[in-house]
């Protein structure tokens, strides 16, 4: 009877060890799976932001080109770029600094938004500043 009781205790210990090891492995697997999922999501968000920034920059370049060809260009238009679009907000001559044009562009790609404010010298269209803003 003593021998049978000792075998039962060894079997119980082995069973509990297997359960604990299984729980640890399941927890580890779930944790690694979630971190991989969130990493993919972060990479995708970064890709969307990169695309929206490229669209906003394309609009800024378009506005600069149009200003070079027509000093009275007023902006306020939507520019198609491939299958995407960006917006050039109304351009204005800055009052605090005469001879500078302010160009504001906005692009959204899959909920990633880029708002650019570019200040260019009106005489030679050199860039005075080029900044991304959280909003207009």
> In what helix (H) or strand (E) does residue 50 lie, and over which residues does it extend?
helix 2-69
Q: What CA–CA distance (Å, rounded) separates 124 from 33?
A: 54
Strands (E), the chain: 77-81, 84-88, 92-93, 100-109, 112-121, 127-133
Whether residue 114 has pLDDT greater than 90:
yes
Residues 6+ apart with CB under 8 A from 98: none
**pLDDT tens per residue, range 24-83:** 998 888 877 776 666 777 788 889 999 999 999 999 999 999 988 988 888 899 999 989
Strands (E), 46-93: 77-81, 84-88, 92-93
**pLDDT tens per residue, range 49-63:** 999 999 999 999 999
**pLDDT tens per residue, range 78-108:** 999 989 999 999 977 655 567 888 999 999 9
Whether residue 7 has pLDDT greater than 90:
no
Whether residue 8 has pLDDT greater than 80:
no
Nearest to 109 by CA among 51, 42, 62, 59: 51
The answer to whether the predicted template modeling score (pTM) of the entire model surpasses 0.75 is no
pLDDT on residue 106:
96
């Amino acid at each position: 009877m003593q021998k049978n009781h000792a075998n039962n205790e060894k079997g119980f210990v082995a069973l509990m060890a297997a359960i604990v090891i299984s729980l640890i492995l399941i927890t580890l697997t779930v944790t690694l799976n979630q971190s991989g999922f969130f990493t993919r999501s972060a990479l995708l968000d970064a890709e969307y932001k990169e695309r929206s920034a490229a669209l906003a920059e394309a609009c800024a370049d378009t506005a600069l080109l149009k200003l070079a060809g027509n000093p009275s260009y007023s902006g306020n238009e939507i520019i198609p770029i491939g299958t995407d679009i960006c917006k050039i907000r109304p351009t204005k001559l800055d009052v605090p600094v005469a001879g500078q044009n302010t160009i504001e562009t906005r692009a959204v790609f899959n909920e990633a938004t880029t708002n650019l404010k570019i200040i260019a010298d009106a005489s030679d269209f050199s860039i005075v500043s080029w900044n991304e803003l959280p909003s207009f």
